[in-house]
Structure 1
């Protein structure tokens, strides 16, 4: 598949996947009572965490592989099989525990346990197709899933309980999984599935899971903590402002999750670093442009989007827009590090996630909600500087003949 077509299909696939998640919540909100939608949202949050852990452990190490030989094709088959097996065990335990608990939320979690192998295995297949440079197949499967999930939910009656919606949502991914499994089986025919390399101590997925936990949980918990001990409006204002930048989160996810196979086509590390730097500039300009568009929105449109939260969120747009521009640079820096030496990203994530919490707290103490937003921005700027400083060091080391740790070497092994 040509590089330009692969880029288009990869971005389109991420757009379809994000659109599916958004429309699922929209349709569920329209079908449910307020209480049932709250239960559905809580269950969907649990799913989002499991999805992030699964992608970090199996998907992200997979896309760092280079080449399309038997070893890579076997790794793709192994990743999907491991996801299916582990999610079946996890989902079975979740369902077994929740079926004994009272309440509608527990019932909905039981349904999640039953369908989680389907949705997680289908997501891992997307990473496998990206690794095999077949992004068009991931796009086809995700488009099929979008059509099936919307069609299935549209047939549900108004007032359907959360458990029923969760079950329908999960089972609607089955056609996409069957399609992905059939095509992947043909693409990886003749290669053995080896699960032991994915479970050994040195597997990169373990580090990426920690990164996912640190990078996502730390900032979320710190914002909630400020709301608990300080002003509860902090949570709504910061969450409202970041919600407006949702489309950029899709682009950042595309870059880190599905960028390595595309950049891996370039001949040398120097070319890959240059391409990643160009991507960082493009995403930063996009973030600044999006922030400008949001700042120019009439108040009536803003209130339609966020309701009464709009005035406080709008006041944070300069800080949040600057933060997302810095995040674009930092995200691409982490992407470059994963291509050069994937073991260097965890210390940076840990140190600067904790630094962001300190800046957030200090900013709030000095300047209230606006200060907190600028504190988050400062944390993102520091992480961006640190990542690209590390990239420069690794690049110089490679040019001096001391090649950095190889991502391909991590993926190989008995």
Structure 2
């Protein structure tokens, strides 16, 4: 069990390293691209991230939930899962190619992003495979190699004013090397045909998880465009600025959830399960409290350094986003529990309510109280979804208690030896 306990914290570090490489790509491309080029890159990158998140829900979460019992893994699972990932990557490449044709700009940038899809996606899923095998250290090595190879090359390209496509190509090249390292550790060969069969066999939760992700992503995208009507671009910029200040919380929360779910799965039905869940909630609360205090106490000079002129409008929105972070502590702990305990209906109910509330509450409160109302609307949406999640959990516990009460008592086990 020491190995598994160690794996939780290594997994969190791995997620942070992975997010750092992705953040560096956006920041460094912004340094060499014109406004129009960066706008096109942002469009392509958002599309790439959508497919990346979709395949994590479709494949990655299924691996963590269903195949984290290391001693019970069918041998063909990993190659089939990587095959699904490669197929999703091909779909993303086609979508990016179409997007490039429609939006114009430097075709090389779109080619690089399209090529990145299948390669980066397989590397990402092999990371999940390693995490499910309780080998998070190897996943960390793969992502560390990516950062060590790509970041210096990207910084150098920015220093010599290279085109945006070259910076993206350096990032993709680092991903290819990281993929080779991950595959060497996992000894996995992507098998798309076997992947189709694997997807059918696991469609009960694969479709559910990916549907939850798609609905949340869609509601968030729609509401941001919709808020431009009552708030104008300045109001949307203020909300974006405030959310950016708290974005490290999302990275940390996702890292903790991904790290703890395999460990919860392995300890399901034991006292250690509840201890791990309490520990997770305390860790999430600690992260939220510390980071929220940092942001709330941030001096105006430092805020303007981060957000520029947007700081003046975003500063007043920090409190609702801090409250939203506290609600996300409970939401994230509940979601980890629902995943590990196979309470999939509960997770769908909670996340479905979050998607619907995110569409309705920020828009409604924006009309009544401008950007401040919208910010409180986002916080209220998470809070409402948490209440729904707690109600579903209470109902599930009562059902379990009634079922246990109705079950006939089992005779005590005897030792025949």
Q: Is the TM-score greater than 0.5? A: yes
1:333 and 1:128 map into 2 onto residues whose CA distance is 23
- In structure 2, do the counterparts of structure 1 residues 288 and 150 end up closer, same or farther at CA, with 3 Å as the change threshold? same
Question: 2:24 matched to which residue of 1?
Answer: 23
Equivalent pair of 1:116/1:170 in contact (CA under 8 Å): no
Question: 2:105 matched to which residue of 1?
Answer: 104
TM-score by length of 2: 0.87
Question: 2:413 matched to which residue of 1?
Answer: none
Question: 1:81 matched to which residue of 2?
Answer: 83
Equivalent pair of 2:112/2:169 in contact (CA under 8 Å): yes
Equivalent pair of 1:285/1:325 in contact (CA under 8 Å): no
Between stretches 212-221 and 127-136, larger displacement belongs to 212-221
Question: 1:172 matched to which residue of 2?
Answer: 174
2:194 and 2:202 map into 1 onto residues whose CA distance is 19
The alignment partner of 2:392 has SS state of helix
**TM-superposed deviation, 1:101:** 5.8
- In structure 2, do the counterparts of structure 1 residues 99 and 10 end up closer, same or farther at CA, with 3 Å as the change threshold? closer
| Aligned-pair Cα RMSD in Å | 2.6
Question: 1:47 matched to which residue of 2?
Answer: 48
Between stretches 354-363 and 379-388, larger displacement belongs to 354-363
**TM-superposed deviation, 1:270:** 6.2
2:166 and 2:401 map into 1 onto residues whose CA distance is 58
Q: Structure 1 residue 35 and structure 2 residue 58: aligned?
A: no
1:127 and 1:323 map into 2 onto residues whose CA distance is 28
Question: 1:58 matched to which residue of 2?
Answer: 59
The alignment partner of 2:70 has SS state of coil
Q: Structure 1 residue 283 and structure 2 residue 281: aligned?
A: no
Between stretches 276-285 and 296-305, larger displacement belongs to 276-285
Please list the CA deviations of residues 113-167 of structure 1 after superposition, one character each: whole Å capped at 9, or x if unmatched: 2221110100001110110000101000000011121133234364433333333
Equivalent pair of 1:241/1:317 in contact (CA under 8 Å): yes
1:73 and 1:63 map into 2 onto residues whose CA distance is 16
**TM-superposed deviation, 1:20:** 0.9
Please list the CA deviations of residues 231-276 of structure 1 after superposition, one character each: whole Å capped at 9, or x if unmatched: 3222111111111112211122113333211222325266534532
**TM-superposed deviation, 1:317:** 1.1
Provide structure 1 residue ranges, at least 5 long, that are not aligned to the other structure: 404-414
**TM-superposed deviation, 1:336:** 0.9
1:115 and 1:323 map into 2 onto residues whose CA distance is 34
1:394 and 1:105 map into 2 onto residues whose CA distance is 54
Question: 1:382 matched to which residue of 2?
Answer: 384
Equivalent pair of 1:62/1:131 in contact (CA under 8 Å): yes
Please list the CA deviations of residues 194-250 of structure 1 after superposition, one character each: whole Å capped at 9, or x if unmatched: 640313583422221221122233133213211134432221111111111122111
